[in-house]
Structure 1
């Protein structure tokens, strides 16, 4: 008997594919249990079928609706790593209404692409053990559970045994499975493995067609399905409205407000003001990133930040606000989070400290990954400001860093992308980028679909390119220009705006929110 194999699909040991199960006695039984993607055929002896690759790419769905759902996901990912399941990409998070048994809490759903040497049944056993360790019991079918781990795809094979069916048989009726799956595989088949997954489905229109048939992107934001972002102890539905981040610089030399908030009292007063004006987030920085700025030591940065954090944490107005630290230093990020910060905002996107990705992964906090070439001292030189298509190249370079971050264990569902206005861009490039945010998101979607479905932050506030256009030399005279830039960015798809003047920019954001709601009703 011959078993089919496809394109560059190497032979693998069936003994490996079974995950340690003894070889079956007949090829007909194996033929019923496994099928491979098409074309080139390979013959195997009856007593032992050998096929070769030591690793397989798999897709695993995650679900939880009992206890701390995001913590359940975090622990499951840690246990998967220990079990020999190396995650390479993560989908976004989706909060969804329960299916089948509807009288239970909402679920949190996602999925991951991973590499493993475990065969399908050994993989199933490993996932079941993780479920057990996280407190899952038999319970009622489709009922509440702290964790649910399902194998959606395993390499380029179908499995049909008494205990395991791959592809998972209920994918096609479940939007809470298809949405994360599309995050992982994209909107078109970009490689042989994904093409094979489509062919294994045996469905007209395949995975994309099934997602569109259920409603596709129109489902997102409905009562039964929301993309959410974990910050602190809450899940933020960032699609509801634009969020405003207020800037607090504790530096003596920042381009806009350097030296104004050196004392703790002055810093706290500014935080109170920004919160009273409507800020959702406060971004605290103690290292200037203006062009030409010199790097200060971790100790100097922390000496500026920690006393202010200690004071801000104890003011009542800040209790429900999100605090972020603006740093490209992993040690500073670590200490700031341990002292109450919720988000790490890294202008270097992980390029200036080799420990940043592993640190943020261990901290399990959201990460703002910004595009920049070089460092603050070199970012504006000719080499770092040379682009062909600035929107495409910024998206491509962001994707590269996002993939690196994910490989260290920072899930896409915790990443906010920032195209880096004013960093390693000329005036014309900044304007092209500001007006081209849809192209940036589209560029992300080409290789990092999950990231393209996540929040985008922009920070045009008082930047020099605005001053050059408007003839405003002093940074604090650029607020009207900032309002115009924020408006353009929000209408282009930005979800978070980072500004010095919260009050006036919030008014602009409110108009954009109202306009978006009105436009949505007319569609």
Structure 2
């Protein structure tokens, strides 16, 4: 990148230094009059908007991300994924939209050239403006600079009128300012009444879930809008030692029969686990886990009843994750959020499947040790510790739009902690939002089913006597914002979920009428 000697004006005069010249003007947002700055070839933080509505849109996103990395843009954050109605030219397919944040040593025009090359290589032609395209990549921000040239204007001039740009742009921020660069985004946006104010004026969160704009998570060939209803995940344990139903479903025939029952009772997805993660469970090898898992997984995936249903595999081994997805599993559910296998994040990133990251301290053999049960504010600390794992996952290549979070009820928690989490799901989202709005929007999974704390509170020592308490805890969780509930008893918990969803729909309807 060339060195530019810049005379920086006040913000009111941004872009005026070289007025009348064809050269590019770069201006710091925070500056005082008559300050000279040299810009050298150092890394700059950039924000790039992404859009696609031709071909396999998600595949286009994946390819564009890989090409950006290959050509000099290191992606550090991803917004959520949005399916949106087309703007300006409306007679065309729906778009997928998002935005990414990264760092690069490319100069702004070099970066523009790279993005245009990616678009061309992926099949974009000079068709009608705002028309169909396999990929659209726009520079929204480049470091702290305002750039004006014949071919590039940064910040992008149409940010402020486009909900499908503003929403993923905000996803890349936290609700608290976290760095000087982010402060620059805020500072610049004051010219347009602020990013957050702009979003609210466009309609804010009320836009999400409507026909024009849906926040979605890709699962298999589906784009899942988790706002439509709470999903029920049925539990299938293939272990001899699980706390509730260990030993019941070790044969393929018994497992298939149980899956058939749960699907008939209304399960949306089945979570298959071949390793017990109860407190003090004996850890088995990945090879042993696969020996238990694969025959059942293959049988379940070929069941006619599984048409339109999803299969999750509960594992903390990357080898098991890879083999399971290779056989057709749709989701990886990791109770350790990557703590127990250093290869998990990179493997899941390559598999391109949704990843459930759960909060736990230690491992199943140590999670209930006294040192792992110390919390001052359990919701705040769970949010912070869980976000740090989500952040590591994202830096390893798992986009925010593929992550599901689980606060880990029953894992490294006392009874009172579990109650606080059930009551505090909105607080967990708020704490995560301070660091990442994208992560705070992720679907939340809860799994209180038949857990020990329910037995302690209700004096039910036997796990299979805890279904009524489970229903009560599921009810509290759904009303608090849970999107997926993981249960043993599908039928009764589905009734609770349906009632809660109806109540929430009613609340939203009354709110819209106000």
Query: What TM-score comes out, normalization by structure 1 length?
Result: 0.93
1:364 maps to which residue? 352
Instruction: Specify which of 292, 299, 306 is matched with residue 318 of structure 1.
Output: 306
SS in 1 for 2:129: coil
SS in 1 for 2:434: helix
Which 5+ residue runs of structure 1 have no aligned equivalent? 7-25
Summarize deviations over 1:351-395 as a string: whole Å, max 9, x none: 110000000000000000000000000000111110110000000
CA contact (8 A) 1:248 1:283 kept: yes
Instruction: Specify which of 123, 135, 144 is matched with residue 147 of structure 1.
Output: 135
1:391 maps to which residue? 379
Aligned counterparts, 1:204-215, within 5 A: 204-215=192-203
Structure 2 CA distance for partners of 1:50 and 1:29, relative to 1, 3 Å: farther
CA contact (8 A) 1:4 1:38 kept: no
1:253 maps to which residue? 241
Instruction: Specify which of 167, 183, 195 is matched with residue 155 of structure 2.
Output: 167
How far is 1:197 from its partner? Answer: 1.8
CA contact (8 A) 1:5 1:37 kept: no
Instruction: Specify which of 294, 307, 310 is matched with residue 295 of structure 2.
Output: 307
User: C-alpha distance in 1, partners of 2:9/2:378?
Assistant: 42
Aligned counterparts, 1:10-409, within 5 A: 29=21, 33-39=25-31, 50-52=38-40, 54-201=42-189, 203-409=191-397
Structure 2 CA distance for partners of 1:263 and 1:103, relative to 1, 3 Å: same
1:491 maps to which residue? 479
Structure 2 CA distance for partners of 1:340 and 1:98, relative to 1, 3 Å: same
Q: CA RMSD in A?
A: 1.7
SS in 2 for 1:229: strand
How far is 1:195 from its partner? Answer: 1.9
How far is 1:221 from its partner? Answer: 1.1
2:13 maps to which residue? none
CA contact (8 A) 2:173 2:436 kept: no
How far is 1:138 from its partner? Answer: 1.0
How far is 1:186 from its partner? Answer: 2.9
User: C-alpha distance in 2, partners of 1:459/1:443?
Assistant: 21
1:417 maps to which residue? 405
SS in 1 for 2:139: strand
Structure 2 CA distance for partners of 1:382 and 1:42, relative to 1, 3 Å: farther
SS in 2 for 1:217: helix
2:433 maps to which residue? 445
Query: What TM-score comes out, normalization by structure 2 length?
Result: 0.95
How far is 1:36 from its partner? Answer: 1.1
CA contact (8 A) 1:3 1:36 kept: no
CA contact (8 A) 1:2 1:41 kept: no
SS in 1 for 2:361: coil
CA contact (8 A) 2:112 2:139 kept: yes
How far is 1:5 from its partner? Answer: 9.5
Summarize deviations over 1:126-157 as a string: whole Å, max 9, x none: 11111112111111100011110000000000
User: C-alpha distance in 1, partners of 2:9/2:220?
Assistant: 47
CA contact (8 A) 1:111 1:180 kept: yes
How far is 1:302 from its partner? Answer: 0.2
How far is 1:198 from its partner? Answer: 2.7
CA contact (8 A) 1:85 1:114 kept: yes
2:7 maps to which residue? 3
Summarize deviations over 1:43-78 as a string: whole Å, max 9, x none: 65xxxx842361000000000111111111111111
CA contact (8 A) 1:328 1:346 kept: yes
1:19 maps to which residue? none
CA contact (8 A) 2:23 2:149 kept: no
How far is 1:81 from its partner? Answer: 0.7
Structure 2 CA distance for partners of 1:233 and 1:379, relative to 1, 3 Å: same
CA contact (8 A) 2:81 2:97 kept: yes
Q: How many residues align?
A: 500
CA contact (8 A) 2:356 2:405 kept: yes
SS in 1 for 2:218: strand
How far is 1:2 from its partner? Answer: 5.3
SS in 1 for 2:470: helix
CA contact (8 A) 1:238 1:495 kept: yes
Structure 2 CA distance for partners of 1:2 and 1:136, relative to 1, 3 Å: closer
How far is 1:41 from its partner? Answer: 6.8
User: C-alpha distance in 1, partners of 2:178/2:196?
Assistant: 13
How far is 1:189 from its partner? Answer: 3.3
CA contact (8 A) 2:455 2:463 kept: yes
Instruction: Specify which of 453, 464, 477 is matched with residue 452 of structure 2.
Output: 464
Structure 2 CA distance for partners of 1:74 and 1:386, relative to 1, 3 Å: same
User: C-alpha distance in 1, partners of 2:35/2:508?
Assistant: 57
How far is 1:199 from its partner? Answer: 2.6
How far is 1:42 from its partner? Answer: 7.7
